[in-house]
Structure 1
């Protein structure tokens, strides 16, 4: 599908009912448009089943709570809305986007407690997030921006505002010929990519940044559990940038990214090795089980 995202056929669930795709609109004075009062979830449906869909619904509710924005639906109701959208559009394999936001209302300043919290569910067919990099290995720039301290913003929320530097950094990376960008945190440790968590392999063991200062992805947690069940040792710890020179393999995880090998980060190069490929294959089997 190549049409613009606002000009497609299909149905979108919006505030409790299915509407035609092109009619799913909001007012220009929507609070979220001005103040980033929005949270969302990205999910994938494989062969008719959303992978860990209920877990995503629970996280959406928690993200709303962290932003002082109570989601007016239960996790079960959100699950049902997602299923309704997939059925209405006839999708068996698709990407699902649930978004909740402060709408337009009586307030149009920083405070927005009198404005309703709205929600929409969309789905579309979407292939590999990184294209050919899924097999050849993604190439990452090193972002000039840093992941913020948890004392400055609710980093455990999947909130729209947290992605502003992601868009800027990905644009800068693409202009240099890279697929994505790697963030360091505010203390200079390795953090994550713009929309995915990162893992490294060295001498048969896995190393990944401790996810206490950025979003601890559902795919990240799934892959860690999967690797441990396979007997791999996983170290969750602070990783200094200079350590990248000693790692042999690298890969990204995320709902959109799934498991994507990394061939390059800045001046550092990595093998697209057998261990990474095996992890990617195991994940593919798991989501379709």
Structure 2
């Protein structure tokens, strides 16, 4: 039975201490709640080891820097906090969420330089992000919202505010019976899904949008290197929506999504083909190596 996320047994690391799960609370006048001053990371622990955990810790710090929100911990201290949470909860295989935010303090307005930056780490056991779609091929809607220009917001940050249109788009997709939604960017090129990067296959070669206007996922980078190590050609480029009908295979990548085949985007259909299956199997082997 699913339990609400605020009512579970276990421990959460919060500002340097392990606290009871139900006691991990913030004040209603925390700056992040009103102005989205929050960054986060999602990670997976496989057989007792967080995959690329240090890279995630470094990216959290960079996200904080991009939002003018210096996080008061080193990457090594963040790594140690994650390990402490996994040990305290007895998890060998789990999803790990690290979040940093501007808390409550002397300021309660747009400016919040005098408010402390807080951090918490939680972990829970979590299966496939897309459920059965991970094996059968996910069905995606096409979002009405666009990924914003990097001139409007620091798109290289994993910032909470960037996900509001993701929530709205995923709700709209689910109402249509889809698992997720695909975004175009502000110029109309294919960008990413609500929480995952996207890849396509055409005549044995791989095509994926250039990650210079949305988050360059750690899983995305891992998969590109894996494909090139296998001798496959990977094109990182601008992709027009009209090109989707020419691709034979498609998959999503992300820490939560791992490697999830896509069977349909809007009116376009794709095979869950051999390259997709091989990538999914190779990634599963890599994270558990």
Give the TM-score normalised by the residue count of structure 1. 1.00
User: Aligned residue for 2:2?
Assistant: 2
* In 1, Cα distance between equivalents of 2:278 and 2:132: 17
User: Aligned residue for 2:122?
Assistant: 122
User: Aligned residue for 1:226?
Assistant: 226
User: Aligned residue for 2:75?
Assistant: 75
Q: Secondary structure at the match of 1:264?
A: strand
* In 1, Cα distance between equivalents of 2:11 and 2:192: 34
The one-character-per-residue Cα deviations of 1:104-160 (angstroms, maximum 9, x if unpaired) are 000000000000000000000000000000100000000000000000000000000
Q: Secondary structure at the match of 2:142?
A: strand
Aligned residues: 289
User: Aligned residue for 1:146?
Assistant: 146
Task: In structure 2, list runs of 5 or more residues that go unmatched.
Answer: none
Match runs of 1:205-216 below 5 Å: 205-216=205-216
User: Aligned residue for 1:107?
Assistant: 107
* In 1, Cα distance between equivalents of 2:267 and 2:42: 31
* In 2, Cα distance between equivalents of 1:239 and 1:252: 15
User: Aligned residue for 1:13?
Assistant: 13
* In 2, Cα distance between equivalents of 1:3 and 1:175: 23
Give the TM-score normalised by the residue count of structure 2. 1.00
- TM-superposed CA distance for 1:274, in Å, is 1.0
- TM-superposed CA distance for 1:206, in Å, is 0.1
Match runs of 1:1-289 below 5 Å: 2-289=2-289
* In 2, Cα distance between equivalents of 1:275 and 1:61: 35
* In 1, Cα distance between equivalents of 2:54 and 2:238: 30
* In 2, Cα distance between equivalents of 1:141 and 1:212: 23
* In 2, Cα distance between equivalents of 1:142 and 1:44: 28
Q: Secondary structure at the match of 1:87?
A: helix
* In 2, Cα distance between equivalents of 1:89 and 1:230: 38
